[in-house]
Amino acid sequence: MRIAVLAAAVLVLVAPPAASPQVLVPYVPTAYEVVDRMLALAEVTKEDVVYDLGSGDGRIPIAAAKNHGARGVGLDIDPRRIEESRANAKAAGVESLVEFREQDVLTADISGATVVTLYLLSSFNAQLRPILTRQLRPGTRIVSHAFSMGPTWPADKVDRFTTKTGDEITLYLWKFDGKIRP
């Protein structure tokens, strides 16, 4: 259901306004139940630094901090989302553990991550693949909601489940092996 919402929104954004050409993935938040499952799949602990690439309202880094004691970094290209995320972090009492940066993830430094979370699109994941594999350290876990990395980089684990509201969800987990992938 949510994938359909995201796909429909993408159709609207196929020809984005000239002022925001990089925003090819619209804002559709991951349900909190799914956020919890993504962080559990990555086995997030307080030792982790969780980067959400395209972080929306900040719910994934905030949940990583609040529920697991991890540090969180959210990157989003939309300044409204960054402002909202900072307010949400303050309301959740985790301002000291999380940071939000207005940035294009395709040009960002993500080398500090021990866990990366994604809810983007297959085409966007394909663009991210060389960036992730050049920057991340071996052992970094990557969790993607709904979208794979393509046939050249199969997931190490796939978690399929139905939410309480009846949405069918697929999550993909990779434990980065250090191999550069174009």
The CB-of-154 to ligand SAM minimum distance in angstroms stands at: 22
Residue count, binding to ligand SAM (CB under 6 A) = 24
Nearer to ligand SAM among residue 18 and residue 138 (C-beta): 18
Query: Would you count residue 99 as binding ligand SAM (CB under 6 A)?
Result: no
Strands 115-118 and 141-145: parallel
Task: Give the number of C-alpha atoms closer than 13 A to the C-alpha of residue 130, restricted to the C-beta side.
Answer: 4
Cα–Cα distance, 83 to 121 (Å, whole number): 24
Query: Would you count residue 84 as binding ligand SAM (CB under 6 A)?
Result: no
Nearer to ligand SAM among residue 52 and residue 99 (C-beta): 52
* Helix (H) or strand (E) segment spanning residue 92: helix 79-92
Pick from 37, 68, 71, 81 the residue near ligand SAM by CB under 6 A: 81
Query: Would you count residue 3 as binding ligand SAM (CB under 6 A)?
Result: no
Query: Would you count residue 52 as binding ligand SAM (CB under 6 A)?
Result: yes
DSSP 116: E
Stretch that binds ligand SAM, among 42-50, 89-97, 103-111, 159-167 (CB under 6 A): 103-111
Which tokens go with 48? 């982790």
Task: Give the number of C-alpha atoms closer than 13 A to the C-alpha of residue 112, restricted to the C-beta side.
Answer: 13
- Helix (H/G/I), strand (E/B), else coil: 93: coil
Q: Which residues make up the interface to ligand SAM (CB under 6 A)?
A: 6, 22-25, 27-30, 52, 54-56, 59-60, 75-78, 81, 104-106, 119
